[in-house]
Structure 1
């Protein structure tokens, strides 16, 4: 059995970090920092629990359960296939991957183009053609991901973000202001809900297969060692996420004086970069966003291709890489808005289901792995989350919203918690009743 050196494990953790760290991860912390102001520490504490804790937990659980499909099979084999495919499609070619290309263009190239030319389709196509060409090249050889992502691209990204943070200390942007909105009322919980909305736990369910495959290619074959090293890699990635998030939150918290009316973290970072670096600010920010988007795209293409290659022997991994890269190129240029309109509700529906599935796996020993608990917990969660997502995106029926408002935590975006707990309790009662009947019949 091969033992990984601490150095190799460290770079596997860096590879996982850069796969997690996309454009959305750049945007959330600065906005949280600006809005929470003087209460940034409380808000940030809640944020890292959900934005870092859940993804790291997902990596560990996927490793211990031997894959997402095996994890979902605790509910039912058919559910496992449908649920897993939905997750890979929504976070991959139908949303996550194309969005990285369009966001990288908007932040990395569009600011340098004239207003008329920047809004035309040609520059977007040329940029995304090169962008997904690089993504394709990096994804074709997963054996080199640790060297290319963990040892090259991630250090560059870390140095650039750290550089912005250090410059903000040398050239102070401003002081922390009073918190705004919900951050003034319940900063910890608001931070938690913002971290939850990053939805990185779903990406972690995808990336688990990449980490396992990478470790196997590095010579780790023993199942126990795979779980151990995957968990440690997740923790390393989590530590770096916390450090970078803290830097970005600080920058945002001190930025209200120069970006008072900013609507999102992207606008805040633009204002900060211009303040710190002048005419070079857009260039620095463009490189940061481009690298963050690219590394996430590679992670998603790789994980989706590895999974789809297990579904059929007729289409190999490299073919899937080409298919996903080309389709993402097309979707990032044509009809992305329509795809978002379909994919985002799907993602919002399955995210609570993914979290509940992980929680039930953690509590597995408490109910002896009862299929009833898994089935009813998932049933009640899915009914609520699907109806809520459809209502918010398409139906917009006030009476449904009015009823859901009676559910605790619904206004905070966590209304699925009570239905899921109720479903698990129902499943547990049924399971206990079945066991009693079985014992009585045996007597």
Structure 2
């Protein structure tokens, strides 16, 4: 009985970590565009937004207890560089300002239609700064009451949407592979793969605190908790994709994700439902921003050996995030794509190769080779995103098998892995 209780506790904790309120905006948008092919969109989104984060957790527990242990399978310097890039992504560059922008567009704007995004950002980060500079129990209280409320609202909205579809007939079509690709790419925007390799240590520490000290017991309890969290994510994300597909919201190139979510909640629950979900999402975004700001402050203060203090890093993080948040959710998502398209395949490569070959191959060189192959093609795509084109390189990459499914990094990573594995064998034979 204790084991089941612990799995449930850790599983819901992991779910809460992955389920950022900003991610609520992605699934309905996917469903709206996928229409009748919403099931294929769920499969694509499930791979990058649900399954891969679980694999991220598993890669950590199979390597040690933190991202440093996973990164050290390649080289300590590589682990540090990847850690910095990941923390910037889930911190002031994307995730933190997105929580503030989501709060303004979904939580504040419906109630205060004349409120400036500048004042919304100032208010949000003033509270974030106060609660991050000296972490308070208030955050835990809000989180403990908020998560059940948000889940009850979402599950209720999904059940009502399934029983009484808003618009059973869709006026547009998308091919199954297009829907899959859309879901797959949008899954990057959850940032959960990046978060999984950073925050897994929290779940592992919680499992050890509950008495699971032995490696075998610890791995079992964390794996079971991960599977529970994965099921919950699939249930919520899948339901939201379905609601988007059946929403009847007019499809256009300038569809705003926040407006779509508010439209669906209003159609199902009315004005009171919109108010309730707006408040819940705003509070969820706030607690997420506080947790991420604390993580950024801790990571970089340790990285600089406290030469730059935690307090100063929190101040810098809040100021930078506040400026970027004013630009709005849609703009943040747009500018995030080149960054995510660059770093996501690199982290996925590290996670998958360590999971598959970690117990068989202990040498660092093959993993460095796999990362080198992925990083090379990711860099070419990143430069192309900034209109810097390398003659002929993009055409070659487009012809790589699986490129059509946004898996252009798979073959280069395999080539790099095998080549460096061969070099390692030759080095040993000498």
Report if TM-score (shorter chain) is over 0.5. Answer: yes
Partner of 1:329: 318
Q: Aligned in 2, Cα 1:141/1:420: closer, same or farther, shift over 3 Å?
A: farther
Partner of 1:240: 232
Partner of 2:167: 174
State which of 265, 272, 295 in structure 2 corresponds to 1:280: 272
2:110 aligns to what SS in structure 1? helix
Count of paired positions:
424
Conserved 8 A contact 1:210-1:302: no
Partner of 2:377: 384
Per-residue CA distance 1:232-256 (angstroms, 9 max, x = gap): 222221111011112212211211x
Partner of 2:250: 259
Partner of 2:96: 97
Conserved 8 A contact 2:31-2:241: yes
Partner of 2:23: 25
Per-residue CA distance 1:98-137 (angstroms, 9 max, x = gap): 321222122210232244xx23623431233235545666
Alignment of 1:36 with 2:54, yes or no, is no
Shift, 1:7, TM fit: 2.3
Alignment of 1:369 with 2:362, yes or no, is yes
Per-residue CA distance 1:20-49 (angstroms, 9 max, x = gap): 112442122212222222232233233223
Per-residue CA distance 1:190-240 (angstroms, 9 max, x = gap): 433433453321111111122223334445444443333322222221111
State which of 119, 125, 130 in structure 1 corresponds to 2:127: 130
Conserved 8 A contact 1:105-1:124: yes
Conserved 8 A contact 2:35-2:170: yes
Structure 2 CA distance, aligned partners of 1:148 and 1:260? 36
Q: CA RMSD in A?
A: 3.3
Structure 2 CA distance, aligned partners of 1:340 and 1:272? 21
Shift, 1:60, TM fit: 1.5
Q: Aligned in 2, Cα 1:63/1:200: closer, same or farther, shift over 3 Å?
A: same
Shift, 1:97, TM fit: 1.9
State which of 206, 216, 223 in structure 2 corresponds to 1:214: 206
Structure 2 CA distance, aligned partners of 1:363 and 1:200? 20
Structure 2 CA distance, aligned partners of 1:120 and 1:271? 21
Structure 2 CA distance, aligned partners of 1:330 and 1:82? 23
Moved more, 208-217 or 419-428: 208-217
Conserved 8 A contact 1:372-1:427: yes
Alignment of 1:406 with 2:403, yes or no, is no
Structure 2 CA distance, aligned partners of 1:388 and 1:314? 36
TM-score, reference length from structure 2: 0.85
Conserved 8 A contact 2:167-2:246: yes
- The runs of 4+ residues in structure 1 deviating greater than 6 Å are 338-343
Conserved 8 A contact 2:55-2:352: no
Moved more, 382-391 or 166-175: 166-175
Shift, 1:427, TM fit: 1.5
Partner of 1:441: none
Alignment of 1:33-432 (within 5 A): 33-66=31-64, 67-115=66-114, 118-119=115-116, 121-134=118-131, 139-140=135-136, 149=143, 151-169=144-162, 171-177=164-170, 180-181=173-174, 183-255=175-247, 257-261=248-252, 263-308=255-300, 310-311=302-303, 314=306, 320=310, 322-323=311-312, 325-335=314-324, 345-364=338-357, 368-393=361-386, 395=388, 399-432=392-425
Uncovered stretches (5+) of structure 2, i.e. residues with no partner: none
Structure 1 CA distance, aligned partners of 2:276 and 2:51? 29
Structure 2 CA distance, aligned partners of 1:124 and 1:312? 28
Q: Aligned in 2, Cα 1:135/1:164: closer, same or farther, shift over 3 Å?
A: farther
TM-score, reference length from structure 1: 0.83
Structure 2 CA distance, aligned partners of 1:344 and 1:42? 21
Structure 2 CA distance, aligned partners of 1:130 and 1:14? 26
Structure 1 CA distance, aligned partners of 2:172 and 2:284? 29
Q: Aligned in 2, Cα 1:123/1:96: closer, same or farther, shift over 3 Å?
A: closer
Shift, 1:58, TM fit: 0.5
Uncovered stretches (5+) of structure 1, i.e. residues with no partner: 439-443
Shift, 1:306, TM fit: 4.9
